[in-house]
Amino acid sequence: MNGLHIKRNHRKTLNLAMAAGLLVTFGLMPVAAFAQGMMGGMNMMHGADVKLVQQQGDYRPLRIPAILEPDETIGNARHYTLIMDEGQTEFREGAQTATLGYNGSYLGPTLVLRKGEDIKVTLRNQMEEETTVHWHGVLVPSNADGGPHQVVNPGAERDVKFNVKQEAATLWYHPHTMGKTAEQVYGGLAGFILLKDDNELSQGLPGEYGVDDVPLVVQDRSFTQDMQFDFPGSYNADGTLGDTLLVNGTIHAAFDVTTELLRLRLLNGSNARIYDFELSDGRPFLQIASDGGLLNEPVKMQSVRLTPGERAEIMVSLKGMNQGEYLDLTSGNTTVLRLNVAGVLKPNGNVPVTLNQLAAAADNGTVDRRFVLFGMGAMVSINGDVFDMKRVDETGIANQDEIWEIYNRPDMMGGMLHSFHLHGTQFRVLTREGVLPPLNERGWKDTVALDPGERVRILVRFVEPGLFMYHCHILEHEDNGMMGQIEITAK
Ligand code: C2O
Ligand code: CU
Ligand code: CU
């Protein structure tokens, strides 16, 4: 990233407040933040809303995360290094914000991997606190998964290895540190993984990174008066929301479009905010991929909802637009990204009518396992339990289809949306409230949103033995224990 990288002596905003405050046992919420929340009249019930501020003035050029070059390539094997560190990032001109990043001050480089490759990643933690690196959506062995058990201590290094076994998809990596995931992601630890395979490469889809194939991680943050991330001050046990939108770490971002078709890889990398992405003139777009890969056919959409952790690849057509014109990607009333037509748009292909060949997900109408999501704030649970690293909640067998029913049990105040994420596999959504899911949810998924009272059935098949997490991807819920683990044994 193009932020300055200055080593800090002390974590300013984030950690002083965390260390100074006693940690309230429920929710690990700093007392100061709790008191401030109450005194400020901030609603501690769910759905406490923080509105996004529509930025004014000049747009900033959208930052594009660099592609990570391997340290070494031997045949099919590639070795990468990711360094987790503290830094300073300039989000607004003339102001430095203390941030966290991989190989840079904020966010991380993009890993572009190909099906079949043997990947080794050296993880080096130069931060002052422990962390883990989780490969969200990647089918990795459990010892490489980067869940809360696989800590990389400050100053330490850890190598992880996996073979890329799955099809082309937009995936991501982020920390999964026990009780600290929300704070570390908020600080800036997140990056893209773009998987490629022959099928995807043969489709003629726009694929020039940062030109007509653009990754967009959308996040919301709150800043203090002196432009520091205000995680403690805006902390909410039901999910910390910010009033400022960042796309790839850019506030008020614009992108210069040079092609008729634009492939946007949307990632909701926010702790808790939900986005309904639309185009400002109401024109439809095509969704071509969900979390884990290409859909069988493009799905025409006016709006796509992404809850925390979810991804969608969309194709936007700007054909016929002229230099100087623009189109905005929006959510609600807020501009997410301005798309400026930068010249005569170059033709760059069509979207094929068939993208993938996924078999229809087989549904025999049964349920093999049930999960009840319940609670709010610090009192969240799955099947009545709060996460315990030492407790295995479920056991299962690899290479066997299972149908899971997930139920978001409402509470007396109605309840709130949870986004259920499962490690170690990609699943298929069979039903929502007994009926087939919308067309854009019929491909591979690893995260699925459940409204209060909603029941979703998914088809799950683990490929690797080992221990895998499932949890709510509202990061504060995850940290508060809305998480469980399943131990998979080889058949
Ligand atoms: Cu993206 Cu277990 O998380
Ligand atoms: Cu994950
Ligand atoms: Cu939740």
d(CA 40, CA 23): 20
Protein residue with its CA nearest to atom 3 in ligand 1: 136
Distance 304 CA to ligand 1 centre (A): 21
- Domain 213-346 is found in CATH 3.40.30.10: no
Q: Is the CB of 136 under 6 A from ligand 1?
A: yes
Single-letter amino acid code for the residue at 105: S
Instruction: Let me know if the fold of 13-198 is the same as that of 369-489.
Output: yes
Q: Is the CB of 423 under 6 A from ligand 1?
A: yes
Give the closest residue to 177 by CA, choosing from 223, 246, 123, 238.
123
Fold adopted by 13-198: Immunoglobulin-like (2.60.40)
pTM score, two decimals? 0.91
Tell me what pLDDT residue 146 has. 98
Q: Is the CB of 309 under 6 A from ligand 1?
A: yes
Residue partners of 152: CB distance under 8 A and separation at least 6: 84, 123, 124, 125, 130, 131, 132, 133, 158
d(CA 297, CA 288): 7
Q: Is the CB of 311 under 6 A from ligand 1?
A: no
pLDDT tens profile 115-161: 999 999 999 999 999 999 999 999 999 999 999 999 999 999 999 99
- Domain 369-489 is found in CATH 2.40.50.140: no
Residue partners of 357: CB distance under 8 A and separation at least 6: 199, 296
Residues of the chain with pLDDT under 70: 1-48
Give the closest residue to 382 by CA, choosing from 482, 239, 238, 486.
482
Q: Where are the domains of the chain?
A: 13-198, 213-346, 369-489
Residue listed under structure tokens 């439809």: 284
Residue listed under structure tokens 């024109």: 283
Tell me what pLDDT residue 317 has. 98
